[in-house]
Amino acid sequence: MSKTIVILGACGQIGTELTLALRSRYGSDSVIASDIREGTPQLMESGPFVTLDATDFNALKELFTKTQVTEVYLMAAMLSATAEKSPARAWDLNMNSLLHVLELGRQGLYSKLFWPSSIAVFGPNTPKQNTPQATVTEPSTVYGISKKAGEGWAAYYHRKYGVDVRSIRYPGLISWKTQPGGGTTDYAVDIFHHALKNGSYECFLRENTALPMMYMSDAIQATLQLMEAPAEDLSVRTSYNLSALSFTPAELAQSIRVHLPDFKISYAPDSRQEIADSWPESIDDSQAQKDWGWKPQYDLKKLTREMLHNLRENS
Ligand code: AKB
């Protein structure tokens, strides 16, 4: 059967690259991007686009019915730092979009759903090193609470109604095509832009704050791999831990200095420090490796080289 894919929240950091990757894999006309706002010229010109609010149940139902969608990627979300400023709006967007889409899955309007979770489901009581797949999830942020609840709903709709929903707990994602917005791990993208533009960066996290991170192309690869895996191989229907690398701002700065020896970093921790301190430093993703063969391609050296090269070439 041929696929028709709808991506909700297609203009965000992950949505943009995911849409382009899905279009090159399955053909532009089979991949319908949608968002409440317009995206980059490359995204807007590469295939169909529908303006849509992912919290509008009727609009979602109409789109899914009209397009006869087979796979949905629900990428619309408010990230950790912004969500702390608007908890009610974050809950509305992060939860209602998911509940609407799950409900449409129960009604049989598509056959497979991808929904991203995050390392934000973990909290201060979670083991920090090599955080296991099944462990304490007591998030201290609104974003984390919404992701934890979402994981529960995903597993529930799968168990109770057979909705084939698949999920990954993304770490901080580093990309050059689209900037992140409102996250705690955003410094790891900002730093590259500032390094090239000004030769210096003031980091909003302390120098020794280790967090799990990943280059965007690894994250896209993982997402496609999980969505293509046979359903019977998947043992986790909340969300899979996923890991690639872990570093501190000081280590990232050092890696940038290999290419830009005069680069300077200073530190002015703000409210995002507390969020970062509540998250793991590294993640155990052995279940994802076992169930669907996950293996990252990018270490810190390769990621730094690619980021600097692509930002230089494309700005
Ligand atoms: C954030 O920092 O909020 C996100 C995430 C780790 O989910 N990048």
pLDDT of 171-210, one tens digit each? 999 999 999 889 999 999 999 999 999 999 999 999 999 9
Length of the chain: 315
Does 159 fall in a domain? yes
Q: Are residues 141 and 209 in the same domain?
A: no
Let me know whether 206 and 283 are in one domain. Answer: yes
Instruction: Quote the DSSP letter at residue 96.
Output: I
* Residue 40 confidence class, pLDDT cut points 50, 70, 90: very high
Q: Is 161 an annotated catalytic residue?
A: no
- The Cα–Cα gap between 11 and 32 comes to 12
Q: Is 163 helix (H, G, I), strand (E, B) or coil?
A: coil
Q: Do both 112 and 193 map to the same domain?
A: no
| 226 inside domain | no
Distance of CA 186 to the CA centre of its chain: 12
Residues 116 and 207 in one domain: no
Q: What is the pLDDT of residues 224-279, one digit of tens each?
A: 999 999 999 999 999 999 999 999 999 999 999 999 999 999 999 999 999 999 99
Q: What is the pLDDT of residue 69?
A: 98
Mean pLDDT of 24-49: 97
Return the sign of the alpha-carbon dihedral for residues 10, 12, 16, 22.
negative
∠ CA 240-244-246 to the nearest 5 degrees? 115
What backbone phi and psi angles, to 5 degrees, belong to 279?
-100, 160
Domain boundary among 137, 170, 203: 170
Range of the domain at 257: 172-213+243-313
**98 to 60, 156, 256, 289: CA distances (angstroms):** 11, 12, 38, 26
Q: pTM for the whole thing?
A: 0.97
Residues 6+ apart with CB under 8 A from 103: 57
Is there an atom of ligand 1 within 6 Å of 184 CB? yes
Q: What is the CATH number of the domain that holds 158?
A: 3.40.50.720
**pLDDT class of 315 with cuts at 50, 70, 90:** confident
Per-residue pLDDT, averaged over 55-84, amounts to: 98
Question: How many folded domains does the chain comprise?
Answer: 2
Query: Does the pLDDT value for residue 72 go beyond 70?
Result: yes
Mutate which of 75, 126, 143, 189 for ligand 1 pocket (most atoms within 8 A of beta carbon): 143
Tell whether 133 and 186 lie within a shared domain. no
How far apart are the C-alpha atoms of 315 and 305, rounded to whole Å? 16
Pair (45, 77) in one structural domain: yes
pLDDT at 1 over 80: no
Please list, in sequence order, all residues whose beta carbon lies within 8 angstroms of the beta carbon of residue 35, skipping any fewer than 6 positions away.
Answer: 8, 9, 10, 11, 12, 15, 49, 51, 52, 76
Of 14, 170, 205, the residue with max ligand 1 atoms within 8 A of its CB, to mutate for a pocket test, comes to 170
pLDDT at 2 over 90: no
Q: Residue 64 has what pLDDT?
A: 98
